[in-house]
Amino acid sequence: MTASQRLLSVRHLIKQLLLPKYVRTYYEGRTENVTFRENEDILDLNIHGEILKFPYVWLRDNCQCAECFHPTAKSRVVDWAKFNLDSKPKDVIKDENSLQVTWDDGHESRYKINWLKLRSFTDKHRKNYNDTIFKPTKKTWHGNNFQKILSKHEFSGIINDDKQLFKWIHDLSVYGVALIKNTPNKETALDSVVQKIGFPKKTHYGTNFIVQNVPNTSNVAYLNSNLQIHVDLPYYEYCPGVNMLHCLVQTSSRGGENLLSDGHYTAEYIKTYHPEQFKLLTDIDVEWSDIGTEQGNEFFKLHRAPVICLDKHGQIERINFSIPQRGSHFLGPIEVVKPWYKAHSLFFKLNMDFAAKFKTDAGDILVFDNIRLLHGRNQYEDKPNNVRKLIGAYVDWDEIYSRLRCLQLKYNHNDELV
Ligand code: OGA
Ligand code: ZN
Ligand code: ZN
């Protein structure tokens, strides 16, 4: 105990002695800004007039001392077999920046006030944490506003400046799309961008895949015909989160434009104006499938999930859509077949209506959320001296959000986050 803590402790003791007897009973305590009582399980903390409540069991579980929380592994190391769910504070001292709790078994815990605030149980504090640190709030868009929401980022900025890297990833997470410009004309350039995030997601199409017109292809994307709006690889249970398409050579023929539609915007629209179709699209599982051989490796992938996947809060978790990769085994009851097809058509038609259409330039990397946006490409023609060529890679959202939070930590110097 330092001298100032000892002083605080003494002051606390004097205060306790001066308090009326009924407040001073064993386990009941009150310092200026903290209230805790024997018969309750929650401690009230008054921070500049705002009362924040922290259950004793939670405080004890989240003790930050080195015995309970490993300082470099940043992980709880409490021996759970010995954990007492009924621990109660014997003494509590609060100063401007920290809270010190002495438990009934003599264990001492200390918490920074800002650390506690960030973990407060109030809706306001939880929302703040959810929207900033957990995942930035998404903003949906209609294709008419595409030019306004599409942010453009320099390749060299992303590679050399972490602030620009942060901005790009942040925009990507909010809008589901962010364009990189002036990428060197090298097949390895995309790898450098992936490395700035972390790790690529390898699939049966490889770590990188070339999108070019190849006859007798293993994937309809490798043709020059119209590529209807879709998400890539919906037949993966762990579907790649983000798709990056580096345009090495763009076609000078007509066509070759990309279509992009915000599946969340469309889903919300259907929920509002066509609730029955929304129910079908969220309830009925579809079997997504891909069967074939790629570079000598055979694959037979199946995944079952609705077109619009909702989480337990009713929020959209993932969009699945791909006409070529929708299997032929219908999974719902026979009487919903026709209504489901109508709902599926509505989803397709609205996404086409809401889609933005644009053509990337050589040097662009089109980066988009593959479990939120639908993308497509118009038919084009190759010529001997102009063969359209893209190189693609995937990265998972786990890696992207992780990088975003690390960068946030770096710039906000907010060590209360961990
Ligand atoms: C794909 C794809 C887009 C394009 O390969 O899955 O969507 O512009 N390609 O060729
Ligand atoms: Zn401890
Ligand atoms: Zn695709």
367 has which bridge partners?
178, 244
Q: What is the dihedral of CA 168, 169, 174, 177, to 10 degrees?
A: 70
Confidence (pTM): 0.90
Q: What is the DSSP letter of 22?
A: G
**388 C-beta closer than 6 A to ligand 1:** no
Q: How many angstroms does the Cα of residue 245 sit away from the middle of ligand 1?
A: 8
Strands 108-112 and 356-358: unpaired
Residues 63 and 116: their CA atoms lie apart, in Å, by 11
pLDDT at 305: 98
Residue closest to 254 by CA, chosen among 354, 359, 179? 359
233 lines ligand 1 (CB under 6 A): no
Query: With a 6 A CB cut-off, is 247 part of the ligand 1 pocket?
Result: no
DSSP label of 276: H
Q: Which mutation among 361, 364, 375, 387 tests ligand 1's pocket best, with the greatest number of atoms within 8 A of CB?
A: 375
Q: Phi, psi at residue 292, to the nearest 5°?
A: 165, -160
Q: Are 407 and 158 in contact (CB under 8 A)?
A: no
CA dihedral 214, 220, 223, 227 (to 10 degrees): -160
- Contact 232 CB / ligand 1 (< 6 Å): yes
Cα separation, 239 vs 178, in Å, equals 20
Burial class, 233, CB count within 10 angstroms (exposed 0-12 / middle 13-18 / buried 19+): buried
Which ligand 1 atom lies nearest to the CA of residue 390? 10
Does 386 score more than 90 pLDDT?
A: yes
Query: Ligand 1: does its nearest atom lie under 6 Å from the Cβ of 227?
Result: yes
How long a stretch of residues is the chain?
418
60 touches 126 (CB < 8 A): no
- pLDDT at site 191: 98
CATH superfamily of 135-411: Clavaminate synthase-like (3.60.130.10)
Q: Whose CA is nearest to atom 5 of ligand 1?
A: 221
Both tokens assigned to 357:
């259409």
- The reply to whether ligand 1 has any atom less than 6 angstroms from the CB of 377 is yes
Ligand closest to the CA atom of residue 211: 1
* Per-residue model confidence (pLDDT) at position 222: 84
Ligand 1, atom 8, residue with closest C-alpha: 377
Q: Is the pLDDT of residue 20 over 50?
A: no
pLDDT tier at 32 (50, 70, 90 boundaries)? low
CATH of domain 16-128: 3.30.2020.30
- Closest Cα to atom 7 of ligand 1: 376
Please tell me the number of the ligand nearest to residue 79's CA. 2
For the chain, which residues make up each domain, given as ranges?
Answer: 16-128, 135-411
The per-residue pLDDT of the chain, averaged, comes to 91
Interval 205-254: pLDDT, tens: 999 999 999 877 878 888 899 999 999 999 999 999 999 999 999 999 99
Give 335-356 pLDDT, tens digit per residue: 999 999 999 999 999 999 999 9
Q: What tens digit of pLDDT does each residue of 270-292 get?
A: 999 999 999 999 999 999 999 99
For helices 189-197 and 397-412, angle between their N-to-C axes, nearest 10 degrees: 60
- Are 251 and 213 contacting, i.e. CB atoms less than 8 angstroms apart? no
What is the C-alpha to C-alpha distance for residues 24 and 395, in angstroms, rounded to an integer? 58
Confidence of residue 25 (pLDDT cuts 50, 70, 90): very low
Q: Which long-range contacts (CB under 8 A, 24 or more apart) does 221-224 make?
A: 224/379, 224/380, 224/381, 224/382, 224/388
Quote the CA–CA distance of 288 and 59 in Å, as a whole number.
46
